[in-house]
Chain A
């Protein structure tokens, strides 16, 4: 049984996949993430960072979403070590 590592979507490296555990925070950002399909249980894949290092491009529910790292840090994920 490989160990599961809890981290946030902001800490994934390009190409890495993880499973969403929880969305932290409150208010507009949280709601917006949920509306865009960032829901617990979904798989999220880090695709790339923007040329200047921020925002990031992630793949979720078969489409690409870009968000700032500060926002991605609200997405708690578990990935396989």
Chain B
């Protein structure tokens, strides 16, 4: 099969896109155009066109000659696509193998209807385009966790041609547990012994021929973080595909009693409507005996389901009678028994080696005395690094935005609506999306650093007791801490929390952690109404209040909404590993790009809406007080009056919905001390102090200022945060709930502070 450059391909030839030269950036560019490896394209330009014109998925795309030079294609004769599912334990290095197989030719989506991430990618090998889906990392395939249900449903419903099973060779016994379950689907499997370098250095020897016979699958040695064995893995997958189903499918023998009961159930399943339940029969029978709620539910809904359920219950009772234990334990037992048999046959220990670097690191890092100080130092460093390193790029983005604004102003000298739209609508909207990008990218970089190195699990281990006390999970710690910087990345960071209850609780209370955007509001009001001696304490009290609110609300949610047992904390502490830069960058890019795409659209839209409301109706002649926003401010005055706020504050709060720092800018405009782009803080402070009602009462007092700060702290998460809440919960309901309950809470808190303060004569 010859590979050629696209620029050399004959016109009207059917081509298969294989890879792109010129690094990540180039691949990304093409991915955006829909030019994915494995995609069939047709070249349709005539000589002399000056550019290469392609037909891809029925659409015409024109690209430059230079780009066409860098695209490697293959002339299709009889291309076949192989569908591969990539399975494996968490921490088995699956992600790095996936990255090696697909490079940057991957895209992230979601499994339909759930918030589980679905990564897909393509690899080319020989005449084949290999379509790889990265299943969620799981230890087993029960119906207890969403990840596991998603993984097994993919295998069953999408019927991949091949399963590539990534096994951590340095922890074979537990990793093969998932393997024994994957074998039961009857799909040809290739097993990648990943981290095989570790395996050899710990003094083991594997007889891979023997292993391959015992497990009924080809064995390939890979080292994910060194990109070893990638080609061999593809080769094995293609070989398994070509030799097809004639491989003997091996299954664990669960002992006479269980096998007997299973065959009875299989007989009943024979008469069953296969259209409704198309799972392999033996697998279904075993799952029923294992009391798998998901499969039980499916069977129950069938017309003749009751008969089967009765049979299953009787069988489970019989098994329990014989073994004095639940069937589940027996299954686990037999699987591990099978694994032990395999290991005894095929693995020899050359020498006893117990000296694991990882254990030594834990002696210090998870140590009773040093554990907490080390952890605090790491957190502090990460926090500092994220927000310090993002300062420069943020400033740079702001100055580019200002320059763009200036340029637009110069190009459009006539003051009109279009000009205003471009400068204050589009440019500042794009700016408010981009300004988060450095923080987000850095955050994801550090998050993957913690995750890939294995330290993340130790963090959960160290802080779980404290977090559990306040109604959260050990893994909620990082998102809560990041909330002090910015709630957007913080909420995205909740992905590491497995249990849905814990994750939702963490998402809902996260916005109370006072982020950086609220600081300008505090600075303005504290500077104007509090003396220098107390200003530090006032500021600290706000942060503390936010944190306490989060803790109290987490408790409330756990008690009233997410009731029931808290999720168990049964978590692997994986060996420490040195992460690869490539892996970190891919991870960072993926997540960051997703943010720009998803949250960006919503933020942009919100900014444009606020802009529209601030210039319309046109009769308002850019007088904010007469615009829709001003009208809204006036309309909500009765609502904020009990908090001591006038309509101007109301207006500022309305526009602050987009981003809390806009509160300052809006006050600036209302008090006529500067434009949107730059508010003169000093004169604004003076204006706030001087402002009074017609009867001479001051509009602002220290009490009102404090009530306002508390309101800004607690009310509605900013637009970007709301967008991310929608994205992460996948539900408008939770988003609406988050917005409404926090605003109600803010109102109550400000009410108590203002009215209470007045009682005390403040």
Contacts and interface: CB of A to CB of B under 8 A. Distances in A.
A31 B568 CA distance: 11
B428 interface: no
B366 A50 contact: yes
B572 interface: yes
B245 to A, nearest CB: 29
6 contacts: A28-B568, A32-B570, A52-B465, A64-B574, A68-B464, A68-B468
A67 B570 contact: yes
Interface string B460-477: 111111101000001000
B675 interface: no
Contacts of A49: 368
Interface in A49-70: 49-55, 57, 61-68
Given A31-B328, A35-B332, A37-B177, A50 B371 contact: yes
A55 B568 contact: no
A48, A51, A55, most chain B CB atoms within 10 A: A51
Given A50-B371, A51-B372, A71 B569 contact: yes
A65 B325 contact: no
- Which size bracket describes the interface of B in this complex? 35 or more
Contacts of A30: 326, 328
Contacts of B325: 22, 40
Contacts of A64: 362, 572-574
B572 to A, nearest CB: 6
B332 A65 contact: no
3 nearest A-B residue pairs (beta carbon): A35-B140, A34-B332, A64-B573
Q: Which of A40, A49, A63 has the most CB of B within 10 A?
A: A63
Contact of A51 (B173, B326, B367, B569): B367
Contacts of B366: 48, 50-51, 57
Interface string B170-183: 01011001000000
B570 A71 contact: yes
B333 interface: yes
B336 A65 contact: no
B142 interface: yes
B396 interface: no
B570 A33 contact: yes
A65 B569 contact: no
A47 B333 CA distance: 24
Which of A35, A39, A50, A71 has the most B CB atoms < 10 Å from its CB?
A35
A41 B333 contact: yes
B569 A66 contact: yes
B518 to A, nearest CB: 31
A5 interface: no
Nearest to A64: B573
Nearest to A59: B359
A63 B174 contact: yes
Given A35-B139, A35-B142, A67 B569 contact: yes
A36 B148 CA distance: 14
Contacts of A77: none
Interface in B175-216: 177
A53 to B, nearest CB: 7
Interface of B: 139-140, 142, 144, 171, 173-174, 177, 325-326, 328-329, 331-333, 336, 362, 366-369, 371-372, 457, 460-466, 468, 474, 568-575
A46 to B, nearest CB: 13
A80 interface: no
A66 B369 CA distance: 18
Given A35-B142, A37-B177, A62-B173, A54 B570 contact: no
Contacts of A40: 325, 329, 333
Contact of B570 (A48, A50, A65): A65
A44 interface: no
A54 B140 CA distance: 26
A18 interface: no
A28 B145 CA distance: 9
A51 to B, nearest CB: 4
B461 A55 contact: yes
B570 A52 contact: no
B462 to A, nearest CB: 6
Given A61-B174, A67-B568, 5 more contacts: A22-B325, A30-B326, A30-B328, A31-B328, A66-B572
Contact of B332 (A39, A48, A67, A68): A39
B644 to A, nearest CB: 43
A51 B369 CA distance: 7
A28 B293 CA distance: 11
Given A54-B465, A68-B468, A29 B570 contact: yes
Given A35-B139, A36-B572, A57-B573, A52 B466 contact: yes
Contacts of A57: 362, 366, 461, 573
Contact of B371 (A29, A32, A51, A63): A51
A40 to B, nearest CB: 7
A55 B329 CA distance: 24
A53 B457 contact: no
Nearest to A37: B174
Given A35-B140, A35-B332, A51-B371, A65 B465 contact: no
A29 B739 CA distance: 34
Contacts of B571: 65-67
Given A37-B336, A39-B329, A63-B174, A50 B461 contact: yes
Nearest to A35: B140
A30 B30 CA distance: 48
> Which of B173, B362, B570 has the most chain A CB within a 10 Å cutoff?
B570
B336 A55 contact: no
A12 interface: no
A67 B464 CA distance: 10
Contact of A66 (B171, B332, B461): B461
A10 interface: no
Nearest to A56: B461
A51 B569 CA distance: 16
A33 B326 CA distance: 14
A51 B474 CA distance: 13
Interface centre among B142, B325, B371, B571 (most CB of A within 10 A): B571
Contact of A29 (B331, B362, B568): B568
A36 B461 contact: no
Contacts of A51: 366-369, 371-372, 462
A61 B340 CA distance: 11
Contacts of B333: 39-41
